[in-house]
Structures are given as structure tokens and as C-alpha cells.
Structure 1
Amino acid sequence: MGALSSGISGGPAIAEPALAAQRFVPPFKMERMTWIKPSFLWMMYRCGYARKEGQERVPAVRIAREGFDRAVSRAVESTISGKPDVRVQWDPERGLRHEALPYRAVQIGLTREAVQKYVHEWTISITDVTALAREVHAAVRAGDDDKARALLPVERPYVTTTAQNA
């Protein structure tokens, strides 16, 4: 699965055209910061398992490795002032019931040139994972954590290109 981009402003109004076009198109606004959120459970926390108003759709965006590498290599911490194209922040990872876990999940904010590249060059595909979000949520509500965990997408650690070549 790719990085998740849910919780986007406009929810279904943005998700529907993006799914049809396989890239973000209007009413998506290129002028706004767009966040790449690679953690499925963090995204479920953010969108309430696709139940929060305006976040009823969960698009999973698969992006090119080169694009993700470029974003990561250009990222500055979100606390740094100025106008960088890419910001990074670390928030507590979340569990099945949205509880904070003792480690962090990365989020990468794109603006200006970086969001243009994300939309026009880096996006490979967009998949609707709303049904999966709701299925995981149903298992959690039923108290079947094993089933919920079995449904979760596989998330692998990100290894930088330089680390792979070392």
C-alpha cells in the first residue's frame, strides 16, 4: 500500500475526483499544504476510521520511491521557521483504539514545488481503502483485535537509498 492521504479537506469532494483521475485534481487545492501520512493506524486516528465528517473517504496514494526519497531528503522540522517546500513532524503512533503508542509516526508536509511534483510526477495510483478502514473498525468494535491486526496493511521500515547501498 502507498502512503495514506486521508483527512484531506473536502473529504469525498476531493477523494471522488482523485480516485477517478488517479491523481489529485480540482477541487484539490495545490496552494495548501498536503500531508503524506504513511501510518495506517495514525490515519485511522485522524479520520476516525472514515467516520469523521469531511473525512468519510480514505484514499491510499502510492507514490514513486524517488519522489518519497526526494521529499525526505528536503524535509525540515515543522518547528523551523521559513518557507521550506517539505516539512516533517513526528506524532505519537496510534493503536487500534487510537491510544498513543510509545513511538512516533512520521508525517511529511508538502507545499509549493513539492506538492506540484507529488500530484504530477510522484503519484503512481490512488486506491480507496475506506472499506478496509471500516472493516478494521468493525473488528475493533467487536473486540476482535487479532482479526483487526490481520487486516492491517503491511508497513515496512523506510530505508534510505544510501543505507541500502552501504
Structure 2
Amino acid sequence: MPLHTEPYLHQKDRWPQQGRVILAQYDADSIVVYQAYRPAIGDFAAQHGYFGGEFKLSRMTWIKPNFLWMMYRAGWGAKPGQEVILAIRLKRSAFDSILAQAVHSSFQSGLYESQEAWQKAVHASDVRLQWDPDHNPAGYKLERRAIQLGLRREAIRQYAQEWILDIEDISNFVAEQRESVISGNYEALLTPAESAYPVKDLEVATKLQLAK
């Protein structure tokens, strides 16, 4: 299923402007996340529809459902080793499972009884959670926070081999949009159509500290 895009200027004002928000493209059965790799890994994944070859199951891998956060991290595909930008469509049930397993990368006093309790949760979980400042297309920080999720152990194996519905290499699309960013022509800029992802499990939503 190809990525659905919209003009950036049509979207930015309807997105939440602050707080922790999971911006994503999703439907009833799936959600799109993004990763950037060197060609040896990215090309294999795009061609085969799963991660293999030089992809290492022994290393934590980070997925990002927010396109502009991925573009900030990858320099719009211009950073060495991040030239191949992948749009990975996951089973929505798998993504919800990832969120349910996620543990914050740093201690959150309101969520964990103690540093020791948080450290135990980190060691026990296969999913790491991190909120970072979101960025606009030019790379400037926003009030809104963007999520990224680190997968390891069994979670990374399931992600690489079982949870993926489709992988699309969007590197050419990214390169085209990069030119609009460089020139400041935001009227021509297209980005994936995204909206706030609903987390229906109240316990998980509270743990994630999502904006209300």
C-alpha cells in the first residue's frame, strides 16, 4: 500500500501544537513507521519485505511513526549511513503491543516507585520509550514531543520477521521534498498524511504520558 501524502501546509495547523503526541499515518489494521539505513540494509529490506542480510538482531533498532522527526534525524536522507529511507507498514496490533511493553529511557518519578523499580522495568522490557522535541521541516524545535521506540531481543525479532505488512523505499520522494525544504518552498512540500494516534488502553496512555 503506497504512502498517502498531503501538502505540509494543509496539515501543520491541525496537528496538536504541544505535549506528547504520537503523530502517524494509520488505518484500522496498520500503522506506518520510519527508519533510515545504509543501502546494504535498506535495499535488502525494501526488496524482500523484511529485515535480514546485514541487519543485526543483536542491536537495538529504533522506529519512529512521525515522518518529520525521522527527517530531522536523517537530515532528509542526506546523512551518511541514513540514505535509504523506509516507510514500514506494521500490523496495528503489533504497534499497540510495542506501546504496552515500552519503558521510558529515563526515570519518571510519577510512574515508577523508585529508581530501582524503573531499572528493573528497563531490564525486563524489550521496548525502550523516548520522547524528544519534534521539529519543523527546517529542523527547528517545536513545543510538541515526538515518540521513538527502541526494540531489542524478542521484539526486534518479531518486528524484523513477523509484524511487517509492507516496506516501501521512499528515498526518492524524500530527496524531492528535501529540495522544497532547502529552497523554503513550503507550498510545494508534501509530507505523509498524519494525525494523532489514539491509544485506547487508558493504563498504557497514562504510562506514555500522552497529551490529553
TM-score by length of 2: 0.71
User: Could you tell me how far apart the structure 2 residues matched to 1:5 and 1:52 are?
Assistant: 13
Match of 1:42 in 2: 69
User: Could you tell me how far apart the structure 2 residues matched to 1:160 and 1:39 are?
Assistant: 15
Secondary structure in 2 aligned to 1:29?
A: coil
User: Could you tell me how far apart the structure 2 residues matched to 1:118 and 1:29 are?
Assistant: 12
* Length, aligned pairs only: 158
Per-residue deviation, residues 64-120 of structure 1 (Å, max 9, x unmatched): 001000000010101243422001100100101011111100001100011111112
Match of 1:158 in 2: 197
Match of 2:40 in 1: 13
Per-residue deviation, residues 128-158 of structure 1 (Å, max 9, x unmatched): 111111111101112211211xx10011211
How many percent of aligned residue pairs carry the same amino acid?
39
Match of 1:65 in 2: 92
From 130, 135, 159, the counterpart of 2:171: 130
Question: Unmatched 5+ residue regions in structure 2?
Answer: 4-31, 107-117, 203-212
Secondary structure in 1 aligned to 2:148?
A: strand
**Segments ≥4 residues shifted beyond 4 Å:** none
Question: Unmatched 5+ residue regions in structure 1?
Answer: none
User: Could you tell me how far apart the structure 1 residues matched to 2:75 and 2:83 are?
Assistant: 9
Point out the structure with the larger strand share. Answer: 2
Match of 2:113 in 1: none
Which has the higher relative contact order, 1 or 2, with Cα contacts under 8 A spaced 6 or more apart?
Answer: 2
RMSD across aligned C-alpha pairs, in angstroms? 1.3
From 81, 88, 92, the counterpart of 2:129: 88
Structure 1 position 161, deviation (Å): 3.9
Secondary structure in 1 aligned to 2:45?
A: helix
Which of structures 1 and 2 has the bigger CA Rg? 2
TM-score by length of 1: 0.90
The reply on whether 1:104 has 2:131 as its aligned counterpart is no
User: Could you tell me how far apart the structure 1 residues matched to 2:181 and 2:86 are?
Assistant: 21
